[in-house]
Every structure is written in structure tokens, then in C-alpha cells.
Amino acid sequence: MLKRCSVLAAVAATVLFSTASQAQYKDEYTVSTVLPSAFPWGQAADKWVELVKERSDGRINMKIYSNSQLVAGDQTKEFSAMRSGLIDMAVGSTINWSPQVPELNLFSLPFLMPDYAALDAITQGEAGKAVFAAIEKRGVTPLAWGENGFRELSNSKRTIQEPSDLDGLKIRVVGSPLFQDTFTTLGANPTQMSWADAKPALTTGAVDGQENPLSVFDVARIDQVGQTHLTLWHYMADPLVFAVSNQVWNQFSPEDQALLKQAAIDAGQWEIKKSRAELDDTLAAIEERGVEVTELTQSQHDAFVKATQSVYEKWTPRIGEDLVKQAQEAVSNR
């Protein structure tokens, strides 16, 4: 009897093992993005898909669904959908995933990162690793960084040079309640809204302003919906993260996991370089279309920094004291 049991157990183990090792790859994996191929963000996803297809000799196929269509336009649901396996993969913004991963609010702390060197010091250092660990802990495997970019402020009403200029302006924001705090403390009137709803709201004047990277302002032609004042205040930058749902990730062989990861790293580096290189031309194109572009003087910049200190007090405990400190040190030592 004993013997029979162990034979049965062995058979069962073999069946289980072979099912696991022969886990069929899907014919196609879904990749979610908010912005399509006309934007650097969409191009980052395109590049990843192309590299994976090429390097796997067509064994691993991915299909991009842009405009957050897999989550009916609600970009703040993308992370949950990936975690639950409704979406296989994504190239997503830290802003949109921060409701589920509070550590991602790090990048939204106003004026934490004065320049690209600061952003890179965070993503490429210990703080970046801690952020990836936080994503992983919540059921999604992060593979590489990409870039949406430094977010600049536009509005239809007036020139913004100091906090009081924002007084009463209705500003569209997305993702995290942190943005409510930043804009409220500056005296503005923030409204949380998906990207799908943003342009219509700007068109009708339901909101007066928005904040997004220059590439988004340019490609989406935000100036055509009355956004004629643009302030380059570089108050935050949202990196993109290439990621795979854990459920899907665990089905890939170690070799294919390495392939997917390296392709994401290469696609991310390619896109970061490209989007930074295009910035000057993008700004020139925006100015040429008649948008009034304002750069802040040092003292104007300092006034914004001072006015947003309360955001740090409230959000540092939620993000994690250690992580914020690690990031601040990376920025000072850059």
C-alpha cells in the first residue's frame, strides 16, 4: 500500500511538474500604455515590443493597447489590472500607479529633483531599487525605467511666475491625492481627471490649466485648446516603468525573463535619450505656435519651493521616511 501511494505521488508530481514546465506561452501578451506611438511614451512601448519579438525570433509577441483602453480610460486602474492578471504588461507612469504603490509618490514631491542628473541619481541608485522592491511587493515585476518627463504648467488665463498667480485657477491633475495637496497649498483649485477627460475639459473651459511634459503638450496640441501660458517650473518628473504582471512573469523561462528585462532596459534607455534630445526642438515648436513661455528666476522658483513644504510634511511618512531621505541624499550627491 505504502509503495502504491508513493508511486501515485510520483506520478502526480510528474504530471504537476510537466504542466508547470510546459506552461504554454500566450499567442500574444497585452501591453497597456496611456499615450500612443506619437508620444515618446508610446514609442518606448513600441521599441520594447519590437526588441522582444526580434530577440525571441517571434516566439514572444506583445500587442500594445494605448489610451488606457484596457481599463476603460481610467489610467489609475492600470496597476490593479496588471496585478490581477487582466493586463499582462505595461509601460506606466509612476503617477498613475501611485494610488496602489504609495512609494511612487516620491517622484511627485514638488521640486525634489531639480534636473535630469537628480532624476537619474534616484532611479539608478539605491532609492530606485527600493522603489522597484515596493512595486514587486505588490504583485508586479518591474523591469526598467523610461521617461514621461519634467512636467510644466499651462493655463488659459494668465502668466504664472509666483504662487499667488495660481490663485483660484482650476487645474486638472491625475493619479495621486498628493497633487490635490500641492495645488491646494498653492491656492489653486485642483480637479482629478483622467487623460481621456482632460482635453475635453480644457476645451470647454471646465478647467483653466494642466501640467504635463513638453512632449505631451506639443504632440497633443494643448495650445489649440486655449492653453496659451506655459510656465517651465520643472516641479516634478514622472518616470515610466516597464513591468509585467507576476502571474505572467512566472510563466516565462529564466532565459526569456532575462530577454524581456534586457529588452525593456534597452528600450527605456533609447527612449530616455531620445525624449531628452528632442526637448529643445519641442519647446521651439511650442513657442512658434504663439504660446507664451515663462522661465522662473531663482527667487520665483524659491517661492514655489517654500510654498509647497507642507506637502513634504504630509507625504513623507506615507512614502517612507527612509526612502525620501535616500532620494534626497542621492540628489545632493549627484
Q: Percent helix, strand, coil in the chain (nearest 5)?
A: 55, 20, 25
Cell of 310: 507642507
CB of 212 to ligand X2X, least distance (A): 5
CB of 104 to ligand X2X, least distance (A): 11
Pick between residue 98 and residue 316 the one whose CB is nearest to ligand X2X.
Answer: 98
CB of 95 to ligand X2X, least distance (A): 4
Q: Which residue is nearest to ligand X2X (CB)?
A: 195
Pick between residue 41 and residue 48 the one whose CB is nearest to ligand X2X.
Answer: 41
* Vertex 275: Cα angle to 177 and 88 (nearest 5): 60
Three-class SS of 179-190: HHHHHHHCCCEE
CB of 62 to ligand X2X, least distance (A): 20
CB of 35 to ligand X2X, least distance (A): 5
Pick between residue 43 and residue 96 the one whose CB is nearest to ligand X2X.
Answer: 96
How far, CA to CA in Å, does 288 sit from each of 96, 242, 280, 292? Answer: 31, 34, 12, 10
**Strand bridging mode 229-232 / 292-295:** parallel
> Of 212, 238, 197, which is closest to residue 93 (Cα–Cα)?
238
DSSP-derived letter for residue 89 is E
Pick between residue 36 and residue 125 the one whose CB is nearest to ligand X2X.
Answer: 36
CB of 174 to ligand X2X, least distance (A): 4
DSSP-derived letter for residue 25 is P
Interacting residues toward ligand X2X by CB under 6 A: 34-35, 75, 93, 95-96, 148, 174, 195, 212, 216, 238
Terminal CA-CA length for the chain: 69
Pick between residue 240 and residue 259 the one whose CB is nearest to ligand X2X.
Answer: 240
Pick between residue 127 and residue 216 the one whose CB is nearest to ligand X2X.
Answer: 216
Evaluate whether 333 touches 137 at the Cβ level (below 8 Å): no
